[in-house]
Amino acid sequence: MNQKTARQLVRNFFTTLCIFILFGSIYLFVPKRIKEIDFTILFILLFISSLATYYASLAHKRRIQRIIDFDELTGLMTTKNFIENVEHILKTAKSDEYSIISIDIEKFRYLADALGTDTADAIIKELAKHFKKEAPSDALICRNYTDNFIVLVKATFRPIVEDQVLSLLSVVEKMGNLLPLHYTLDFSIGVYVIMNTNEKVQSMIEKANTARKFGMRSFNPRRVSFYDENMKITTENEKEIIFDMNRAFEENEFIAYYQPKFRFQDAQIIGAEALVRWNHKTKGILPPSAFVPLFERNGFIQKIDLLVFESVCKFLDKWNKSAPEDKTAPAITISCNLSRMQLYNPDVAKEYAEIASKYQIAPSKIEIELTESLMMDNKERLLKAMNEIKKVGFEISVDDFGSGFSSLGLLKDIPANVIKLDKSFLGSESEREHIIIKSVITMAKDLDLKTVAEGIEDKEQAELLKNMGCDIAQGYLYSKPIPEKDFENLLHKALD
Ligand code: C2E
Ligand code: MG
Ligand code: MG
């Protein structure tokens, strides 16, 4: 007998004794008439009422247990219950026998904002009902959080797991009239194949979630992404960058490099594109590919864009003041990249114009590069931002033109001054491709747009583009992106 049980027994004994003394005393004082009442009935009543109290408390306990074990909205398991059940199953499972699947509705937060909480709840409920019906009979499902479902399936072979996922998600049309007309739900799906059954289930769920998030980054038509260890390394690297970014910003490690641009006609330098670099204290100079995509996801890119823009203004100010008293410095135009995040800032044009005026820079000497792919994202927002930026006087260029699908349609709508032909566009040697490039350049001219060819690496490409009538050249053939000081020296040498 353990200590706790012994204590419980002593407590019960004293409680019974107290009740006995209490009833005994009452019995001694009650009048004789009452003593004649049939105590058998009284005891039966007492027994029934204690039995009822006992079952009521049992039901209450069960209700509480159900709340702990099952999600109130969907009736699916809670994560805690799911983990316990998976642990139990894996005790006797082999490696490479089960997979954990993580399913998430894309942009659910926006959907919930637009449709309201009740409809969002109804969608989740409907989805859970469908999952329960479509999942294999030996699968376990839980709702991990808002719109994140975790499923354990007894399958690891990719095509089989993918088929199971697809049947789970054959749901869109079954959402009834909960969704607006023509609206379909998009899902992101990550799969972790369980090789080590002793691993913590929570860590398995995290890995399925990591795979899911990676799948969202790439264009993956089936949207099912399987976990691999490289994802973990990338995630660790990204965490390291996130922990380090504020320090690096404070310590001025983000700097602007400049890639010169040249006029085709007379090979004269006319300006540059400013491109960010991370001058990391231990890792050295890092290219944008190492951090820009991550900063675009976590929003930090807005600070970087502003910093690069302000560096450009400072540089232009310095350049303008570099000429002797009686002369004006030759005019140059510098372009800055603007990330998609900025389009959601309604004051972006105003903020940029204020910085330019702080350094007394004419906005027409700065070109804002907006990538063509933004058009696929949110055409209205892009056009609105472009118009506002143009209104305050900046030049606008469409970056990476030809890399997406929207290029030609884009030309008739946008208020741009410049289009930058994407480097992938220039790579091909085929006659057909050349015809397309020539037509784009001609069309741009007719629309009064300047053309820049970026990524020119050899003389043949340069000659071809020059003959086609392209205006400006940018590429490794002329110069790689270089530090500010080197660019300044280059300008002095070329323009003095
Ligand atoms: P982008 O704006 O299209 O910039 C052109 C990229 O092409 C630059 O890469 C440049 O170094 C590279 N490039 C130029 N000529 C050649 C060439 O002849 N051959 C090859 N192979 N590449 C060439 P970088 O500097 O690595 O920048 C990559 C991308 O990162 C940029 O593409 C831009 O989308 C983004 N980025 C760079 N700086 C910023 C910034 O300050 N803000 C934002 N939002 N994005 C930036
Ligand atoms: Mg650019
Ligand atoms: Mg580009």
The pLDDT tens digits for 15-68 are: 656 666 776 676 667 666 666 666 677 677 777 777 777 777 777 777 766 667
Question: Which residue from 276, 336, 337, 339 has its CB within 8 A of the most atoms of ligand 1, so it is best to mutate?
Answer: 337
Of 135, 102, 103, the closest CA to residue 204 belongs to 102
Can you give the pLDDT at residue 34?
A: 63
The reply to whether ligand 1 has any atom less than 6 angstroms from the CB of 455 is yes
Amino acid at 177: N
Contact at 8 Å (CB) between 87 and 201?
A: yes
Q: How many other CB atoms are found less than 10 A from the CB of residue 492?
A: 12
CATH number assigned to the domain with residue range 248-495, chosen from the 4 options 3.30.565.10, 3.40.309.10, 3.20.20.450, 3.90.1150.10: 3.20.20.450
How far is residue 71's CA from residue 221's CA, in Å, rounded to a whole number? Answer: 31
Paired tokens of 287 = 């290219």
471 dihedral zone (left: phi>0; alpha: psi -120 to 50; beta): alpha
Q: Residue 334: nearest ligand to its CA?
A: 2
Can you give the pLDDT at residue 494?
A: 85
Can you give the pLDDT at residue 244?
A: 96
Averaged pLDDT for residues 248-272 = 97
Can you give the pLDDT at residue 12?
A: 59
Q: Residue 403: nearest ligand to its CA?
A: 3
Q: Residue 426: nearest ligand to its CA?
A: 1
Measured in whole angstroms, the distance separating CA 234 from the mean position of its chain's CA atoms is: 15
Of 255, 254, 253, the closest CA to residue 485 belongs to 255
pLDDT over 60 (residue 222) = no
Nearest CA to ligand 1 atom 44: 339
Can you give the pLDDT at residue 308?
A: 98
Can you give the pLDDT at residue 45?
A: 75
Q: What angle do CA 80, 207, 146 make, to 5 degrees?
A: 50
Give pLDDT tens digits for 333-378: 999 999 988 888 889 999 999 999 999 999 999 999 998 777 666 7
Query: Where exactly are the structural domains of the chain?
Result: 3-69, 79-227, 248-495
The reply to whether ligand 1 has any atom less than 6 angstroms from the CB of 271 is no
Nearest CA to ligand 1 atom 35: 288
Distance of CA 315 from the midpoint of ligand 3 (Å): 22
Contact at 8 Å (CB) between 395 and 367?
A: yes
Contacts of 162 (CB under 8 A, 6+ apart): 222, 224
Q: Decide the pairing of beta strands 450-454 and 418-421.
A: parallel
Give pLDDT tens digits for 128-154: 999 999 999 999 999 999 999 999 999
Contact at 8 Å (CB) between 261 and 334?
A: no
Fold that domain 79-227 belongs to in CATH: Alpha-Beta Plaits (3.30.70)
How far is residue 105's CA from residue 111's CA, in Å, rounded to a whole number? Answer: 10
